[in-house]
Amino acid sequence: MTPTGGRGGSGPRARRRPSIAPSLLAAVRAEAEGFFRDARGSHDWGHTERVRRLCLRIGRKEGADLGVLELAALLHDVGRGAEDASNGQVCHARAGAALAERILARHGLDPGLVREVAGCIRKVLFDADKLDSIGAVGIGRAFLFAGEVGARLHDPAIDIRRTRPYTRDDTAYREFLVKLRRVKGRIFTREGRRIAAERHRFMVAFFERLNKETEGAL
């Protein structure tokens, strides 16, 4: 998460440098938002804003460089359109990092900081981005994505070994079985793990109830 110096690097030995200018943040925000005018709902500008807020929340706890984090958060999904258009064949993190480097260079950001921001994006601001894929908002996004690719509402008996992404079988429940239930164990930061634990409990309970309702048990 680009710490300013060691874990919780807010002490006197932490590396100091000028903060990112508000005018630069505003200009980058305006340009980044333009990439989402026709975005799918599951990866729209709202997702970017939620990730930005989570980044800053976790970053404050971890002693991160908040300026670099905020720039990376604003730009982290600008390559998403290329991934969606390719049905997942293009990595949006790599595509986004390359776009971000060009955007930030055009706005006159120091080359060293440009590399740091691009590095954050290649890692997809891991904890914050993953946290937005679980819990109540993660469930909502999973159903949005399923609708976007034409998937069914639900199949409690789905065999994930016989299904493929971006097809009729790519339901929210499949996303939960394939990816979302594993997110909690992949979070790095202490604050991120605390948030993930609660979101995970809610998500598991939701899909358990959904299965019971669709089977007529409730």
For residue range 154-176, list pLDDT tens digits in order.
999 999 999 999 999 999 999 99
> Which of left, alpha, beta for 6 (phi over 0: left; psi -120 to 50: alpha)?
left
Residues carrying CATH 1.10.3210.10, the chain = 22-123
CATH value of 133-214 in 1.10.3720.10, 3.40.50.880, 3.40.50.300, 1.20.58.1910: 1.20.58.1910
pLDDT given at position 122: 75
Q: Which two tokens stand for residue 71?
A: 């720039």
Identify the band that residue 17 occupies on the pLDDT scale cut at 50, 70 and 90. Answer: low
Percentage above 90 pLDDT, the chain: 66
- For 64, the 3-state DSSP assignment is strand
pLDDT given at position 118: 86
pLDDT given at position 6: 38
**Which one is predicted more confidently, 76 or 83?**
76
User: Whole-angstrom Cα distance, residue 209 to residue 217?
Assistant: 9
Closest CA to 214 of 161, 171, 166, 180: 171
Q: Please state which CATH class domain 22-123 belongs to.
A: mainly alpha
With vertex at residue 122, the alpha carbon angle to CA 120 and CA 128, rounded to the nearest 5 degrees, is 55
pLDDT given at position 90: 63
User: Whole-angstrom Cα distance, residue 213 to residue 208?
Assistant: 9
User: Whole-angstrom Cα distance, residue 93 to residue 124?
Assistant: 6
User: Whole-angstrom Cα distance, residue 83 to residue 99?
Assistant: 13
Residues carrying CATH 1.20.58.1910, the chain = 133-214
Looking at 5-9, 180-184, 185-189, 200-204, which range is the least confident one? 5-9
User: Whole-angstrom Cα distance, residue 125 to residue 187?
Assistant: 11
For residue range 102-114, list pLDDT tens digits in order.
999 999 999 999 9
pLDDT given at position 139: 98
Sequence-distant (6+) residues with CB within 8 A of 109 are 24, 71, 117
> Which of left, alpha, beta for 64 (phi over 0: left; psi -120 to 50: alpha)?
beta
pLDDT given at position 124: 67
Identify the band that residue 16 occupies on the pLDDT scale cut at 50, 70 and 90. Answer: very low
